[in-house]
Amino acid sequence: DEALPEAFATVREASRRLVGSTVVVTGHELAWDMVPYDVQLLGGIVLHKGRIAEMATGEGKTLVATLPLYLNALAGHGAHLVTVNNYLARRDAQWMGHLYGYLGLTVAVIDETEPSSQARKDAYRADITYGTNNEFGFDYLRDNMVFGLEARVQREHFFAIVDEVDSILVDEARTPLIISGPVGHAEDDKYAQYNRQVAELVRKQTAVVNTLLAEGEKEFGVPGTRDDGAAKLFQAQLGMPKNKKLLKLLNEPGVKTAVQRMELSYIGDRKLPTKQQQFRDLEEVLYFVLDEKGHSVHLTDKGTTTLSPDDPDTFVVPDISEVIHAIDKDPELDPAGRVARRREVEAEYAAKSEKLHIIHKLLQAHALYEKDVDYLVQDNQVLIVDEFTGRVLAGRRWSDGLHQAVEAKEGVQVKGETQTLATITIQNYFRMFDKLAGMTGTAETEEQEFYSIYGLEVNVIPTNKPICRKDLPDRIYRTRREKFNAVVEEVERLHQLGLPVLIGTTSVEVSETLSKMFRRSGIRHEVLNAKYHQREAEIVAGAGQRGAVTIATNMAGRGTDIKLGKDLDLTAEEAGLQIIGTERHESRRIDRQLRGRSGRQGDPGQSLFFLSLEDDLMRLFNSERIARYMERSGAEEGEVITGRLVTAAIESAQKRVELQNFQQRKRLLEYDDVMNQQREVVYSLRLFALERGEELKAEARRMIASALDHAVRKYLDVFEKPEEWDRPGLQSALALQFLVACDAVTDAAATASLERMLGAVQAEGEASFNRKVDYLRDFGRSIGIADVDNQVLSQVMLSVLDEKWKDHLYDLDQLRNAIQYRAYGQKDPLVEYKREAFEMFEDLMRDVHATFTERYLKVQVSAEPPRAAPPRPRPAPAPEREPSTDDLFTGPPAAPPAPRPASVTTSLGRMPTAPMPAGVAGQVGRNDPCPCGSGKKYKKCHGAGL
């Protein structure tokens, strides 16, 4: 803080001295003409204090960031600037690098280097590092998957400025960063196999819905059958809520209100006991029922019968606990028969669960995910489109089989399913920084979330010149067709005046629909969406020129100013960039960002939104009030609907969606906070293993003592008195699992109490550890390599931690998917998740201790090259796998781990599966190591059927 005035003055003076010089930015030569204004200095102070600076579009946020970045880089710990895309990272680093170079600082862009490479490491060693939020997060995860300290690329998390902070810390906060890997074997062919059946089911559902609509429309027009007509229209809404004929009918007077009354009755009816329900038959004519808001779908009885007419029970998953209970009580089965029968039931249960899961995902893909809205198909690939920016999310895939389902639907190659190897949320990654700041043009609406989750205050920075943009009242039409016609008329009028027009759309589909309409009207225009993102810089550069018409999907987050052409008359009544929005976004902030593209630096401009009552926001979140207003207004086709009530209804709908999305992000963080604490423990152990040294040996000794303590207690707890202890059995079990041969175990006088027994066994474990260290050191000396003991210890520790952590993440995923059903038992799913996750983590740490002890004390080394390990089998599917509503994205596949030291090969060989020691089976926990010495968990070895 003391150096701030001098540092900021230095940057300002350097900027002044550079005026007139040129710099090449993304292939274009630019003249440097920037010197920070006073308001920009104010913004720099806010950023240095670790707050969010809200600055309007065109106020020079890129230059403002140089002030705190320079000051904080002087500390020598590195300063990061985080952007929403690699184009902005590259542009800003090259542009501002001209200034940093003059000040004697180095600057680099991580996105221009390969992950886990020396170049990436060097980029982090620069004084100032630019990059995208995803790459920063993925580098952190990769750093915690490497096998050598030198392979880590990041340094400490000291200071970061997040550009477009609302886009990164709010919009993308619902999307955890996930590094995934193959699961061993895939069900990819089944997606293609079942896709034909599901596609046929969707066609049949469409036919049923069309019939319901025809009958419902006819009956609704007759006073005596009005309620029956409303019921059929509601049935159609349950089956296909986006059916075009249905949407048109809902705009007719009285229809929407009647359907909503039916919906309320239906929801209330579902809460009654089954025998008292009067509306159960509404679903019987449908094959499946859609919940558009919840993004979920479920099969009806008619649907399951259609998919499997010969055996409708194919899709009925039995209550496995009842079945197993019945097997346990069956007097005709001996113990071996019970185990065999259990395995049959569990295999059948897993197969049915997996099949039902695939069907549900395919139904979601066909009925809820739209091509050119939620995704594109290019080069035989399904590419996800970011709902906030309209960009293609390269390298990302939906999780939990949804991406495979969409691939099967579109007839492209179905790629293998993946499993989580490492994950972290955006929130928890950025909360690791000692000081975090952000800047954006729109932060006020999310001020509460920034403070409650990140502890960031929002300061609004005044503009250098007053804003002259006019924001006109919304124009609202009954149907989308009327709205689009009105948009074309308005654009044609503005185009004839020679004004530049920017039309903002919410999807690729809408942008292409408008583009066709413009072509028919002879309006020359450019389209900027996920299909043409390569020409983004060129299109944006020309969007402010005289007569330019540009259609763009969600301009939010583009980060590029649209500068007005020099030949424009800025004194006319209508002047400057004309913004036309074709639909309100779920978030008011995105609408504000679109408006903010006009009126930069005091320029004139105008913004106007065209809406329709068929827009998703109006239809889903405030349809009741809108329906009542429509009936009272009596608006005719093509007539504009205006009024405070409609505007208030729109804002109310946006606030409801914003609150819903905030609750989702908050809930995600609450769940991830549980995992975050566990992740910190495991990653700190990994760091011990990478750093080696005496701390690692101390940790290894503690693990061995813990594993032996747990093994002895587990074995002896079944006996009531020391006189009853099976001492030979315990001695054999310890020798078999850990190669710990403790003669004192069979000496009743020396180990008369549990404490003395534990002391003797742990002392022998310590001696075994020391002998192993001496053995490894002697081996190293014999081949002329130092530090072999630390290398082997590190490798064993890392391999155990990675293997067990991956399994633990899988188990947590399954727990998270199933835990929501606890709400039906009047239990808080989050509380239950915390409790069970903690128990699972305790099991994990016991498993890590035991597996490490076993592998390290049994390890043998040689100078031969390592043999490839056989692929690990995929973990069994979870018992309950309902369609996920999270639709989490995954990142690029995990980068290959850094090579291990080639000079030494650790080898455990393939341990034979030994018989179970007598008296042990009933004492071993399901997540404990199997006492047979196989190295597997008990539940995956001798305990598989128990």
Q: Which residue has the higher pLDDT, 506 or 188?
A: 506
Q: Which residue has the higher pLDDT, 6 or 721?
A: 6
Give me the pLDDT at residue 877, please.
32
Structure tokens at 288: 């499946």
Mean pLDDT in residue range 902-912? 36
Average pLDDT of the residues of the chain: 82
Asked whether the CA dihedral 335, 341, 345, 347 is positive or negative, the reply is: positive
Of 46-60, 446-460, 908-922, where does mean pLDDT reach its minimum?
908-922
Give me the pLDDT at residue 52, please.
96
Q: Tell me, what amino acid is at 881?
A: R
Mean pLDDT in residue range 163-179? 85
906 forms beta bridges with 861
CA triple 528-534-535, angle to 5 deg: 55
* Residue 144 CA: distances (Å) to CA of 632, 849, 902: 62, 19, 21
Of 140-154, 757-771, 916-930, where does mean pLDDT reach its minimum?
916-930
Q: Tell me, what amino acid is at 928?
A: D
Q: Which residues, in sequence order, are CB contacts of 131 under 8 Å at separation 6+? A: 80, 81, 82, 83, 86, 89, 109, 110, 111, 123
Asked whether the CA dihedral 886, 887, 892, 894 is positive or negative, the reply is: positive
Q: Which residue has the higher pLDDT, 834 or 222?
A: 834
CA distance 379 to 407: 12
Is the per-residue pLDDT at 8 higher than 90?
A: yes
Domain boundaries, the chain: 4-178+426-460, 188-367, 375-416, 468-642, 670-940
CA distance 66 to 62: 7
DSSP string, 183-246: -SS--HHHHHHHHHHHHHHHHHHHHHHHHHHHHHHHHHTSGGGHHHHHHHHHHHHHH-TT-HHH
Give me the pLDDT at residue 617, please.
80
Q: What percent of the chain is predicted at pLDDT more than 90?
A: 36
Give me the pLDDT at residue 260, please.
81
Q: For 551-596, write each residue's pLDDT tens digit.
A: 988 754 455 678 888 888 877 888 899 999 999 888 788 888 888 8
What pLDDT band is residue 96 in, cutting at 50, 70 and 90? very high
Instruction: Say yes or no: domain 670-940 is CATH 1.10.3060.10.
Output: yes
Give me the pLDDT at residue 83, please.
92
Q: For 460-472, write each residue's pLDDT tens digit.
A: 999 888 888 898 8
CA distance 337 to 327: 9
Give me the pLDDT at residue 623, please.
59
Closest to 598 measured CA to CA, from 469, 442, 462: 469
Give me the pLDDT at residue 866, please.
47
What pLDDT band is residue 937 in, cutting at 50, 70 and 90? low
Closest to 173 measured CA to CA, from 615, 587, 564, 630: 587
Burial class (CB in 10 A: 0-12, 13-18, 19+), 435: middle
Alpha helices (H) along 820-913: 829-858
Is the per-residue pLDDT at 516 higher than 90?
A: yes
DSSP secondary structure letter of residue 753? S
CA distance 718 to 919: 8
Query: In the CATH hierarchy, which top-level class contains the domain 4-178+426-460?
Result: alpha beta
Structure tokens at 374: 């939620």
Give me the pLDDT at residue 772, please.
93
What pLDDT band is residue 537 in, cutting at 50, 70 and 90? low
DSSP string, 521-532: HT---EEESTTS
Is the per-residue pLDDT at 634 higher than 70?
A: no
Give me the pLDDT at residue 373, please.
83
CA count, 13 A, side-chain hemisphere, 179: 21
Most confident among 124-133, 803-812, 905-914 (mean pLDDT)? 124-133
Give me the pLDDT at residue 882, please.
31
Which CATH topology does 468-642 take? Rossmann fold (3.40.50)
166 forms beta bridges with none
What is residue 669's three-state secondary structure? helix
CA distance 908 to 890: 34
The residue ranges of DSSP E strands in 307-434, in sequence order, are 375-378, 381-384, 397-398, 418-424
Tell the residue number behind the tokens 């997606």, with chain if given.
191
Length of the chain: 946
Give me the pLDDT at residue 633, please.
65
Is the per-residue pLDDT at 855 higher than 90?
A: yes
Q: For 264-313, write each residue's pLDDT tens digit.
A: 888 777 777 766 677 777 888 899 998 887 777 888 888 888 888 887 67
Q: Do domains 468-642 and 670-940 have the same CATH topology?
A: no
Is the per-residue pLDDT at 910 higher than 80?
A: no
Give the other-Cβ count within 10 Å of 344's Cβ.
12
Q: What percent of the chain is predicted at pLDDT more than 70?
A: 85
Is the per-residue pLDDT at 873 higher than 50?
A: no
Structure tokens at 871: 């692929």
DSSP string, 435-451: EEEEEES--GGGHHHII
Q: Which residues, in sequence order, are CB contacts of 359 under 8 Å at separation 6+? A: 194, 198, 299, 307, 315
Q: For 338-394, write each residue's pLDDT tens digit.
A: 878 878 877 777 777 778 888 889 999 998 898 888 898 988 889 988 776 677 777
* Residue 533 CA: distances (Å) to CA of 22, 73, 281, 555, 653: 27, 34, 49, 12, 31
Most confident among 442-446, 582-586, 703-707, 874-878 (mean pLDDT)? 703-707
Give me the pLDDT at residue 944, please.
47
* Residue 649 CA: distances (Å) to CA of 129, 250, 618, 619, 653: 45, 18, 8, 11, 6
What pLDDT band is residue 136 in, cutting at 50, 70 and 90? very high
